[in-house]
Structure 1
């Protein structure tokens, strides 16, 4: 159940204005063990560099939707829809980096972000959404509960966030809208 959560689409200017809050969100998630492409040690500067160097150019180019959930003035979560696809895939997009601050989890924020992302995707011509998530992670049943279907599992897909010697599997999922 969510309380006083607002979700908005961020422009590149919004991202620049709130890069500190977005950076704090990603930094907290990585340090809480989220498998979102980064490994420890991971600094606040690394986190801000991700938002400004990787996400902002795509938002500015109009190939990525960035949704941000706020509780009051605090950034509580975010999710991205990457719709920079080849010419033969104009109907598809990839869900990227669903993040909810560790202090605010289990309050419906992730579900709200995904519902808004799915609501906006058809306006972008996207009717098939894909994603991957660390196999066995808490996010996997969340996505399944939202109607995402499992295609399969790829073993040894990525390094574990904290244990560089361990490789984690990823589960590939999709949903038709």
Structure 2
């Protein structure tokens, strides 16, 4: 597991974009509609690089053999004065060829540890209701806060319910 600074996120944008496209192509509701173009996916990560440089977003990446990018997770810090104790877990992505081996759990644990080390005391995240990710979050000690019907569209453009989770740290 490696923490990527803004420059490394920017340099890795094409590979991170390919990971994002793999998730969208697999039906993951991660903020994009299919088909997601390579340029658009890489551009999203270039924006994330700017946030990393400003200290708003932290990016952890996991690599396999021959430095193949297998997964990523980000932590976005809340910036409002009354919310600086919390952060959002976003873009927890594991390549389809690397799923089922605990990588998502290790990425999530890295983000949680990084958040705690940064002094954050509360994390939140959202996921498509009924997705495989829900089992991961529940088994990792996250608490279901509630579900909003039709909150976000899946990659095909169909509105789906979204479930929010939270975890107190420390």
Using the size of structure 1 for normalisation, the TM-score is 0.92
Distance across 1 between alignment mates of 2:163 and 2:143: 10
1:57 aligns with 2:50: yes
Q: Where do 4+ consecutive residues of structure 1 move more than 3 Å? A: none
Q: How does 1:1-177 map to 2 (within 5 A)?
A: 7-52=1-46, 54-72=47-65, 73-162=67-156, 164=157, 166-177=158-169
Distance across 2 between alignment mates of 1:176 and 1:98: 19
Distance across 1 between alignment mates of 2:10 and 2:127: 27
- Give the deviation of 1:48 after TM superposition: 0.4
- Give the deviation of 1:150 after TM superposition: 0.5
- 3-state DSSP class of the match of 2:83? coil
Two-structure CA RMSD over aligned residues (Å): 0.9
| Residues 2, 61 of structure 2: 8 Å contact kept | yes
- Count of paired positions: 168
Runs of 5+ in structure 2 lacking a partner? none
- 3-state DSSP class of the match of 1:136? coil
* Other-structure match for 1:3: none
- Give the deviation of 1:85 after TM superposition: 2.5
Distance across 2 between alignment mates of 1:37 and 1:137: 14
- 3-state DSSP class of the match of 2:125? strand
| Residues 11, 60 of structure 1: 8 Å contact kept | yes
| Residues 85, 93 of structure 1: 8 Å contact kept | no
| Residues 90, 125 of structure 1: 8 Å contact kept | no
Distance across 2 between alignment mates of 1:85 and 1:138: 30
Using the size of structure 2 for normalisation, the TM-score is 0.96
